[in-house]
Amino acid sequence: MKRKGYIIILCLVAAAITAAAVWYFISREKPQEGQEGMITNEHPTDGPGYYVDDTPQADPMLVGKWRSIDKKGWYKVYYDDYDEDTQKFWGKEWDEGEDVQEEDLNYHGNGWFRWEKKRNVLREYATMDTHDVPIHRKYEILFVSTDSIALCESDYNIIYPFVKDE
C-alpha cells in the first residue's frame, strides 16, 4: 500500500504542476500597444489575411526603353521599379555616341536617375557612383504615345524627341 500511496501522490503533484502551467499561460497579461521594447504580431496566422499594395504605379506610357531621334545612340529607360526611400521610380540613360554602353553603368550609380511624373512635368534626379547627391532635371512632356515621346527642357527651351526602342 505504501507504493500505491506514493504513485497517487506523484500523480496528484504532476496534475497540479500541469494545471498551474496551463493557468499561467492562459492568464498571462497580453502586451499593451506602445510598450517599449515589446514586439506584437500584427499579422497572426489565425487571423484574416489580405494584402494591400501601397506602392504607386508608374505611368505605363513612360515605362520602357526610349531612343533619341536627333542624337544617335542616346537612350533613356524608365522603369516601374519604385524606390520607397525617395518615393520615386528608377531609370537610366547612356549615350553610345560618347562611347558609353548600357553595360558600363554601375547599378544605381552614374547614368541612373530617379524619376517622377506629375501632370505633364517629368522630373529626373540623377545619381552618381560616389555619392547619392541628386542632380535635378525638369522636362515638360509635350507629347506621349505608345511609341513616341517629346520632352522639352524648359530651362533651355530644347525639345528632345524619342521613339520606343524594343
Residues 18 and 96 in one domain: no
Q: What is the pLDDT of residues 12-50, one digit of tens each?
A: 888 889 988 888 878 776 655 555 666 676 666 666 666
Residues 12 and 69 in one domain: no
Residues 149 and 92 in one domain: yes
Residues 68 and 144 in one domain: yes
Residue 36 corresponds to which cell in the numbers above? 517599449
DSSP 3-25: HHHHHHHHHHHHHHHHHHHHHHH
Residue 56 corresponds to which cell in the numbers above? 504607386
Residue 149 structural domain: 64-164
Band (2; pLDDT cuts 50, 70, 90): confident
**How confident is the prediction for the chain on average, in pLDDT?**
87
Rounded mean pLDDT, 149-161: 94
Asked whether residue 5 is assigned to any structural domain, the reply reads yes
> What is the pLDDT at residue 134?
86
Residues 85 and 128 in one domain: yes
DSSP 101-126: -GGGSPTTSTTEEEEEEETTEEEEEE
> What is the pLDDT at residue 79?
97
With a pLDDT cut of 70, the percent of the chain lying above it is: 84
> What is the pLDDT at residue 64?
96
Rounded mean pLDDT, 98-122: 95
> What is the pLDDT at residue 1?
61
Q: Is residue 84 helix, strand or coil?
A: coil
Residues 136 and 82 in one domain: yes
Asked whether residue 52 is assigned to any structural domain, the reply reads no
Asked whether residue 110 is assigned to any structural domain, the reply reads yes
Residues 75 and 151 in one domain: yes
- Specify whether the CB–CB gap between 118 and 126 falls below 8 A: no
Residues 1 and 80 in one domain: no
Q: What is the pLDDT of residues 124-143, one digit of tens each?
A: 999 988 877 889 999 999 99
What residues pair up with 140 in beta bridges, in sequence order?
Answer: 121, 152
Q: Number of structural domains, the chain?
A: 2
Residues 98 and 153 in one domain: yes
Residue 80, amino acid: D
Asked whether residue 34 is assigned to any structural domain, the reply reads no
Q: What is the pLDDT of residues 38-81, one digit of tens each?
A: 667 666 666 666 666 778 999 999 999 999 999 999 999 999 99
